[in-house]
Amino acid sequence: MNLTLQIEKMTVEEKLQAMEALWSDLSRNAPDVTSPAWHRKALKETEARYAAGKEGVSDWEEAKKELRERFQ
């Protein structure tokens, strides 16, 4: 399938909704998805910041709300 999106014409809200839909679909098949090396590195860096008290934890729904408000 060849899917073309005109991302530059989408609103931030539409882009976030598209990302949520993609993530939801990918999550259903999580065992089939291999994380790239850069993602493992980013997770380790975040984990280290959290362990050092420099990173906090947010509820997913609250985080989405905050991002929508920030980028609208």
Residues 15, 71: contact at Cβ < 8 Å?
no
Residues 10, 18: contact at Cβ < 8 Å?
yes
Closest listed residue to residue 21, CA positions, set 39, 46, 3, 41? 3
What's the CA gap between 54 and 15, in Å, rounded? 29
**What does the pLDDT look like over 15-70, one tens digit per residue?**
999 999 998 988 888 788 788 999 999 999 999 999 999 998 989 999 989 988 98
Residues 58, 66: contact at Cβ < 8 Å?
yes
